[in-house]
Amino acid sequence: MTDHLPLSGLAGEPVPADTANTADNADAAAPDAAESAAPGKYDAEVDRIFGPNGPLAPAVGSFKPRQSQTEMAKAIADAIGKQGTLIAEAGTGTGKTFAYLVPALLWGGKTIISTGTKNLQDQLFSRDIPNVRQALRAPVSVALLKGRANYVCHYNLERTLQNGRLTSRDDVGHLREISRFIKMSNSGDKAELAKVPETASVWNLVTSTRENCVGQECQYYQDCFVMKARREAQQADVVVVNHHLFFADVALKEGGMAELLPSANTIVFDEAHQLPEVATLFFGTTVSTSQVLELCRDVLAEGLAHARGGPDWAKTVMVVEKAARDLRLTFPEGGTRLSLPQIPPSSDFFPALEKLKEELEGMVDVLEENAERAETLEQCRVRAVEMLESFKDWKQAPVKKDPKEKDYSQFAGAEAVLWVEAFSSSLQLHKTPLSIAPIFAGQRAGTPRSWIFTSATLAVKSDFKHFTSQMGMTGEPARTWPSPFDYQEQGILYVPTGLPEPNTMGYTDAVVDAALPVIEAAGGRTFFLCTTIRAVNRVAERLREEFAARGLAFPLFVQGERGRTELLDSFRTAGNAVLVGSQSFWEGVDVRGEALSLVIIDKLPFAPPDDPVLAARIEVMEKKGMNGFVHHTLPEAIINLKQGAGRLIRDVDDRGVLMLCDPRVISKPYGRRIWQSLPPFRRTRVQADVIDFYQQKPETDA
């Protein structure tokens, strides 16, 4: 097969796969030979453990020595020994999990491992750590800690059983299962109860939140699953958390997790590319009209239960509820995302918000007069005061002289952007930090400890500046280890010819037309990844029609029709299916073997230009003389694209085609930077090459 590419820019020399540099100068040369050749304190032991006769091979059936894995483990061990920082990008198949677990379990001391998802958290705790611990015979204790919404709350379960307000037969059945589960479970972790779907609405009634937890006043405090998990975490040598919990409970100093970080010697972030987004979520705040209505319901219930002879509780909450609903109605349903300066001065939003503040203050006064009657009423008072505090920053922005003029001053010097988002039944008011760099740098200051950041996607063409600038890190070692996969033999990057520009009418239909012959040649076995839900729906509609018209018996699975896990299980089982999905299928999905041999990406995953946070960040960057597209939008899209592309080749025997439909990867000057950041597949623009690839049988060892 040839690597012929008619248009200039897609052929070219491969990018070096193994680099060593520092975070403040990601294009710097590697350390000199003498320095890099000097053996580390733990190198010999790492070589022994990861070698062909080491302890990992008999303990883990599928284990095979890989040089990149061994070298990565040495670098992590060295960082741990020096109480230093390492930013480690490891290509798919490197085995980064074992590369950090071995040094962490042997030399990491008190270690916190933070993962991108709860699924990965469970996999680490239930499978990977036990395997490595057994292989190394490491006498370390391990604890799993999740957010409180993952544990059944005795108090809320009891209340739900007593008041019997369930409306569906499914909820009644689920509640019965949860009642049985709580009597037998040691952890109370809802992930252990497979009979009740994670998305079941009843979970909201039988778990707690920070706002409604009674704490030490609770009659079930000694049996509380959340407190039990936190006690175990404080005593364990290794604690497995996820990024959401790390930032919610460590960085914000909320809950018992605040006691973990001070005693930790080593922090490992797996799937570290997610950190900027997750940190932004938790260092920001959100208050919604739904939260106001939920508070009103609780105030009415607790007021009638504990202070029935007091004020007119129905009237007290009714005026607040009306004000919240009126605020929601100041924007049309769905699709509205506006920063505070973008809201027209004539909008009904501002007077409606002032009215809600006024009515909330009235309810706070009533609650203050009655808070002593019950702990739950005091909790309601605290929640109402916090809501008022969240609304405090929302004031009408000064009117600009020229509405068309780009006003850098609106965000210059600001630490956060205020923006609204409208949904069908709720209006959310967000306060999002423009940068988490100074906040995260502050978290890392103080007590010396090791910080390990690892992922398959941290760099853009071996340049780590985008990630390190977001995280507030400069001068820290950053390295890339190549994947052991033979991408030249195992796959093809195919950019079809003749497609229109992505913003033209009918683009998605043109993509489907180009994709159909390739899907047919692949025998189904396709992930069709889209950048919008609208595109997902259109692609699914077209594929149904075309499969029926052409007599193609490929099962079609579409995001939203069933849960993510169920869709993936069905996809693997079918063996010849097509799955159409958006962002949630771009990463954290592992389908090995012949079930997946084609990944189609409809467009480059650029963030929507109307995103208020992105717009604010770009304005601030441009105020500083930087190019917002080059320094933020493009690297962010490349890292997302690398995640999507990474779904294709998951094992040494996998074969497949990455079909990137967006013509901008060829036509735009930045296109070269994009495809050079992807795995070094063979590259073509000729459909016949792709058809031929599927007709060829892979060579097998005799």
**Integer Cα distance of 660 and 638 in angstroms:** 13
pLDDT on residue 611: 86
DSSP 8-state code for residue 491: E
Q: Are the C-beta atoms of residues 116 and 142 closer than 8 Å to each other?
A: no
Specify the pairing of strand 266-270 against strand 111-115. parallel
The H-assigned helical ranges of 91-168 are: 96-107, 118-123, 129-136, 154-163
6-14 LR contacts (CB < 8 Å, sep 24+): 6/497, 6/685, 7/666, 7/685, 9/666, 9/671, 9/672, 10/495, 10/665, 10/666, 10/671, 10/672, 10/675, 10/683, 10/685, 11/683, 12/672, 12/676, 14/680
pLDDT on residue 90: 94
Rg of the chain's alpha carbons, rounded to an integer?
Answer: 27
pLDDT on residue 636: 92
Burial 95-118 (b: 16+ CB within 10 A, else e): bbbbbbbbbbbbbbbbbbbbbbbb
3-class state of residue 334 by DSSP? coil
3-class state of residue 340 by DSSP? helix
3-class state of residue 125 by DSSP? helix
pLDDT on residue 410: 53
Q: Is the dihedral of CA 21, 24, 28, 33 positive or negative?
A: negative
Partner residues linked to 115 by β-bridges: 242
**Integer Cα distance of 437 and 283 in angstroms:** 11
pLDDT on residue 414: 63
Give φ, ψ of 335 to 5 degrees: 85, -10
Burial 560-585 (b: 16+ CB within 10 A, else e): eeeebeebbeebeebebbbbbbbbeb
Q: Are the C-beta atoms of residues 616 and 411 closer than 8 Å to each other?
A: yes
Give φ, ψ of 85 to 5 degrees: -115, 145
Q: Which of 117, 18, 26 is nearest to 72 (CA)?
A: 18
Q: Which residues of the chain have pLDDT under 50?
A: 1-19, 23-37, 254-257, 403, 405-409, 412, 700-702
* Domains of the chain from N-terminus onward: 152-207 (no CATH), 285-396+412-433 (1.10.275), 487-695 (3.40.50.300)
pLDDT on residue 17: 38
Give φ, ψ of 111 to 5 degrees: -120, 135
pLDDT on residue 19: 47
3-class state of residue 604 by DSSP? coil
Please state the pTM of the whole predicted model.
0.85
Give φ, ψ of 131 to 5 degrees: -65, -50
Q: Which of 74, 56, 76, 77 is nearest to 65 (CA)?
A: 56
Q: At what angle do helices 507-522 and 687-695 cross, to 10 degrees?
A: 30
Q: Are the C-beta atoms of residues 251 and 279 closer than 8 Å to each other?
A: yes
Q: Are the C-beta atoms of residues 693 and 522 closer than 8 Å to each other?
A: no
**Integer Cα distance of 562 and 568 in angstroms:** 10
∠ CA 360-365-371, rounded to 5°: 115
pLDDT on residue 38: 55
3-class state of residue 481 by DSSP? strand
Specify the pairing of strand 427-433 against strand 578-581. unpaired
pLDDT on residue 98: 94
